Chains A and B, each alone.
Chain A
Amino acid sequence: MTADDAAPPTSPVVRIAGVDKVFARGDQAVTKALEGIDLEIQSGEFVSLIGPSGCGKSTLLRIVGDLISPSTGTVTVNGKSAERARRDRDYGMVFQAPVLFDWRTVEDNVKLPLEILGQDAATRTARAREMLELVELGDFMKHHPYQLSGGMQQRVAIARALAFQPSILLMDEPFGALDEMTRERMNSEVLRIWEQTATTILFVTHSIPEAVFLSSRVVVMSPRPGRITTVVDIDLPRPRNEDSRESRRYFELVTTVREALRRGGGTADDGATIDPASVDRTMAEGAVG
């Protein structure tokens, strides 16, 4: 166990206090997605949210990222409201789908947020190259997204999210659509990037091995209404590599998380990937910025 795994007494990057989320759909019965969520994430932590489909983990991530607002409770990011933090571009977001723009090359996709931030052309070019080399796609800058494999596309999305150096990276099942082999490779990749960039990461997954391998803490959630049932500290030594996946401690921790999930009343890895409650219909039109 290394020192950085024991939460240092700094002020948290993210503080979630008493968050509930209720979705009302017209005349239909309301859906209670989240209930009484309290969570603090320290600077440089890698925190995973895990739980069965529909437990509201993606909803929680979206609330932190101010893509939707909580029904009650508060989210504070870097001492500011979530909305302020979003407007200050504190977040980098990676979704399950890479959501790359077909008409832009890989390089220009990474430049997109930098253009919106109004950075000059030279900075954009340098930064895009740096980020693509970080995700080991330096040779594919002039390719178009559809020319890349799914894993490569997701690495472009990560490069794009990191391009403007956000203080927190929000990742919503980023590897959920990838095959197991690619997923494990991407896990190692994300760990390397996390270590190199010292970014705080909030990561949503329903894969227990993925959560254990990556995280400093795994937050286990119950089925709807989503509640935090257990927080498992992952004291697996760092740096972690493929050998870590075969260590005894790793299997113990996987078992711990699995049992925590079972006690919570749900099992992860059930295959379903889309959390309907997480898609806020108001997002579809307008309401930008």
Chain B
Amino acid sequence: MATATATRGGRPAVYPDRPAGAGRRRRALTWILLVVGILVVWEGLKFLGGTPWRAPGSLPGPANSILWNPPFRWPFVNDLNLPHVWNIALAFFDPWQRGADRNVAQLLFDAALYTWKEAALGFLLGTVIGLALATVFVHSRIAERALVPYVVASQTVPIIAIAPLITYAFGGSTLAVVVIATYLTFFPVTIAMIVGLRSFDPRALELTRSYAASRWDVYRKLRLPASLPYLFTALKIAATASIVGAIIGESPGGIADGLGRVILTYNQYYITGPEKLWAAIIASGLLGVGFYLVVRAVEVTVLRGRPGAAEG
């Protein structure tokens, strides 16, 4: 029977799933090794050319408090430019400013949540706009030829130049931040979906034609489902871009509650506490990675069952 190449219990024989745990374990291991590697290089450079290491709590001064005196002096790895990783880790538990009740970690958590809300709103708007534009473009060559250059041009203007304009236009409100996040996210969605909405098997058009399917039917039964892998690739880019957009958008305005302001503040106090700025940078990074992983989780759920769906 033809069933010989088929499967038992729903597991494909042609494209067998890899053992569920193995790939994931290897990826986790790679990730851990990467982090450890960065830390080793970081501290290794400081070991060779950083500021003399002192016992915790000791002030600059008596030479006997020096634990290790590096043989070289490289400015870019001194304690101001590249604080010790443990000092950065400890900075999370310092009061966020002198005499404050809340520590840096709490401040960063709240700020990240606030920024994420702005970014997520911009992400959603950007996705809708990008999808709408791509839908128009794949149905109209004229619109595509006329407008795609402007879509591309919009992204060549540095966001840092546009952000203040948008902020003034929206009176420094949160809306300005959302608009900036939208501005950065609609682009990858548009570009990917122009390809994605055309990525279906062209022979399927003969099939839908034989059903006398409407354009709308072709769109929702064929074009859109076929485009989903492209959409999620774009959404993963858009997720991180929206965080960047929101943080940049917060800076020129008076948004006091987000990561943008925290980064500005700690920038100003860098000389006295560089670890705090590094903590804020780490928080921003984690927020971007977190948003990315959320999108990835949705992708895995939505694309479950497709061939090659397990690919990262």
Contacting residues, chain A, for B212 (C-beta < 8 A): 86-89, 116, 289
Interface residues of B (CB under 8 A from A): 2-7, 10, 12-15, 139, 141, 201-215, 217-218, 221-222, 225-226, 228, 303, 305-307
The answer to whether A146 touches B209 (Cβ under 8 A) is no
| Residues in B whose Cβ lies below 8 Å from that of A182 | 2
A-B CB proximity, top 6 nearest:
A147-B12, A149-B5, A93-B210, A151-B2, A146-B307, A87-B212
Determine the main DSSP class of B at the interface with A.
helix
In the complex, are the beta carbons of B2 and A67 less than 8 A apart?
A: no
Contact, CB under 8 Å: B210 / A65: yes
Decide if B15 touches A146 in the complex (CB within 8 Å).
yes
Interface range for A: 35 or more
Contact: A147 with B221, CB < 8 Å? no
- Chain B residue numbers with a CB within 8 Å of A289 are 209, 212-215, 218
Inter-chain CA distance A101–B208, complex, in Å, is 12
Contacts of A272 in B (CB 8 A): none
| Subset of 23 A-B contacts with CB under 8 Å | A86-B209, A89-B211, A95-B207, A99-B201, A99-B203, A101-B225, A103-B228, A103-B306, A105-B305, A112-B211, A116-B221, A143-B10, A144-B305, A144-B307, A146-B307, A147-B13, A149-B5, A182-B2, A284-B202, A284-B205, A286-B139, A288-B209, A289-B214
Contacts of A104 in B (CB 8 A): 225
Q: How far does the Cβ of B145 sit from chain A's closest Cβ, in whole Å?
A: 14
Contacting pair A102 B306 (CB below 8 A): yes
A283 at the interface (CB under 8 A from B): yes
Q: Indicate whether A91 reaches chain B with its CB closer than 8 angstroms.
A: yes
Q: What 0/1 pattern do residues 19 to 56 of A give for CB contact below 8 A with B?
A: 00000000000000000000000000000000000000
Is B209 in contact with A149, judged by CB distance below 8 angstroms? no
Does A13 reach chain B (CB closer than 8 Å)?
no
User: Told that A116-B217, A289-B214, A289-B215 touch, could you supply 16 new A-B pairs with CB distance under 8 A?
Assistant: A99-B201, A99-B207, A101-B226, A103-B303, A113-B211, A116-B221, A146-B14, A149-B3, A152-B2, A152-B3, A283-B206, A286-B139, A288-B208, A288-B209, A288-B215, A289-B218
Interface residue? A185 (CB, 8 A): yes
Number of A-B contacts (CB under 8 A): 108
Most A-side CB within 10 Å, residue of B201, B207, B213, B217: B207
Residues of chain B within 8 A of A185, CB atoms compared: 2
With A93-B210, A116-B217 as contacts: A140 and B307 at CB distance below 8 Å: no
User: What 1/0 flags go to A171-189 for Cβ under 8 Å of B?
Assistant: 0000000000010010000
Whether A242 is near chain B, meaning CB under 8 Å from some CB there, is: no
Residues of A within 8 A of B5 (CB): 148-149
Most buried by A among B7, B202, B211, B217: B211
The one of A65, A143, A170, A285 in contact with B6, judged by C-beta atoms closer than 8 angstroms, is A143
* Nearest A residue (CB) for B12: A147
- Chain B residues positioned under 8 Å from A67 (CB to CB): 206, 209-210
The chain A residue sitting closest to B206, CB to CB, is A67
Which residues 95-129 in A have Cβ within 8 Å of B in the complex? 95, 97, 99, 101-105, 112-113, 115-117
